[in-house]
Structure 1
């Protein structure tokens, strides 16, 4: 498969392997626009019953993804320069998107680099953490592995270099019902799953070509167990059977509340200094706060208000900040975390 391969040919190759394909804009990398009827604000029809889909139109973005070669041909005859995208969930895949944006490290990386993990005692050289790939290496080391994926073929993803210098890791989905998770696994790491999509490996956009570095298109590997657990933890759409986080005893409840308050305060300070990546940073902060909410004993309404205010202070519109906070906080609450006992003991000792 060569970088210059025609888009339709590339789309058909993936469709033949069972990967569901949709057409994307070569400039914005977003799904092509809906028809005029589906663009009407407040349209009442449900996506599942939209008459455009059985008629072979590309309305409703990723929902239109298909493996039908005739439909792909018709689409690319109408839009020859469209870029093939891959719908993750329908294809049975998860894309781990490792960014390499020019973005400052979180102000307090020990608690903010990998939400839900306290890295204070790891001795990590923070100056060496520059991209999402480095964050994934840190996460792997927390689980006892020196690399983000083992060397055996069963766990090899399809690895793609993005034009911006990042990496796409395509894996078999470790579970059904996963969703997109932006920044919730770690700094500069996005998970594309469910009704989300990625640029097809080998495709070319206005920014450049998504070059395949290693792995096989025919059968991307399964995630190693530790990575599968982490992905399911942050990208699950439903709560699973696991012990719920418990509120600390009265003696330490104030300290627990202070811990979450400090996490939010530090995150808010970092948000105000960002020009890029504010939505991603707010989502990661809200997700972490959601995981710690029950443990902290703080009222949910207070935390929601603080987070929305932090988003607004960074320059995000209220509507956008509210949407991000409510969704990410709810996702975090479905995956409750226990705060670091070490910090509680230390704080109690100084009380």
Structure 2
């Protein structure tokens, strides 16, 4: 359990797998010896997962590309995430960040870095989203985990052991500043003022305030809570739709417009926003919100 001895909170993975063997692994990952003994007494063959965020790590997972790279990467002729990261460093005028603790994986390597202490970086997958680094390059930080050295996977029917790269240092170095900058989400754009036409009655004023309030909640939601915030906002406005005091198209437009500030952040898309909005409105319509006290 070398990772835990380094002070990195760990949790069990299923034997010969990288699938977590427990729920809420990021929350319960630990270095506590008694808890670790309990987990691995259940099955000593379990692999070891490292919860990157609590461990203060950012791990860059470099892997083979599946198929031929497209676009600029295809033009550069890259075949592996190592080449992609090296190109990114070259374009940034920086050295390829190879001199850090590195674990060899079945199809590439995990490069470990110390996370910045002044911000929380989160996962990226390939070239997806605004912060994605490129094909074959995944980032594991808060919300992510990696398989620790010493773990075993079956590859082509044969066991493969994750092991430190002997050519690299034994300890992680701080994440280079250019990567910190590249992986830091841009601050959300301030939500655009929602211009909705309502009448002058007390009911209209109440509905207008409700729409603007829920749209503001959506725009200010943080990663990890956005799905429930969007659904809850849609549910509340759906209750006004069900009470026949709010047009459903107005509610949907306001919420979708507010959700656009999250596009591309931690994989969030308008498709996901639309799904939660539609589901919330549909559920809310079935439970109209009473507003009798506002009717003169």
Paired residue secondary structure (1:167)? strand
Q: Distance in 2 between matches of 1:194 and 1:20?
A: 13
- Look up the match of 1:295: none
What is the count of residue pairs matched by the alignment?
A: 191
TM-score of the two chains, using structure 2 as the length reference:
0.57
Paired residue secondary structure (1:206)? strand
Corresponding position: 1:325 with 2:273:
no
Corresponding position: 1:94 with 2:52:
no
User: Where does 1:112-127 land on structure 2 (aligned, <5 Å)?
Assistant: 113=73, 126-127=76-77
Corresponding position: 1:73 with 2:25:
no
Contact 2:17–2:47 (Cα < 8 Å) also in 1: no
User: Where does 1:204-243 land on structure 2 (aligned, <5 Å)?
Assistant: 204-207=152-155, 208-213=160-165, 214-217=167-170, 219-232=171-184, 236=185, 239=187
Q: Distance in 2 between matches of 1:157 and 1:227?
A: 14
Within the candidate set 18, 21, 27, 2:10 is matched to: 21
Over 3 Å counting, the alpha-carbon distance change for 1:326 and 1:73 in structure 2 is farther
- Look up the match of 2:291: none
Corresponding position: 1:132 with 2:121:
no
Over 3 Å counting, the alpha-carbon distance change for 1:131 and 1:65 in structure 2 is same
Q: Distance in 2 between matches of 1:225 and 1:133?
A: 19
Computed over aligned residues only, the root mean square deviation of the Cα atoms, in angstroms, reads 3.0
Q: Distance in 2 between matches of 1:188 and 1:328?
A: 24
Corresponding position: 1:193 with 2:120:
no
Unpaired runs of 5+ residues, structure 2, are 127-131, 191-255, 274-296
1:216 deviates by 4.2
- Look up the match of 1:142: 91
Q: Distance in 1 between matches of 2:123 and 2:149?
A: 19
Paired residue secondary structure (1:144)? coil
- Rg: which structure is higher? 2
Q: Distance in 1 between matches of 2:270 and 2:30?
A: 32
Unpaired runs of 5+ residues, structure 1, are 1-10, 33-57, 114-123, 151-155, 245-299, 308-322, 330-351
Over 3 Å counting, the alpha-carbon distance change for 1:28 and 1:14 in structure 2 is closer
Over 3 Å counting, the alpha-carbon distance change for 1:101 and 1:325 in structure 2 is same
Q: Distance in 1 between matches of 2:144 and 2:28?
A: 12
Q: Distance in 2 between matches of 1:78 and 1:231?
A: 38
- Look up the match of 2:290: none
Over 3 Å counting, the alpha-carbon distance change for 1:327 and 1:171 in structure 2 is farther
TM-score of the two chains, using structure 1 as the length reference:
0.49
Q: Distance in 2 between matches of 1:187 and 1:327?
A: 22
Q: Distance in 1 between matches of 2:7 and 2:34?
A: 15
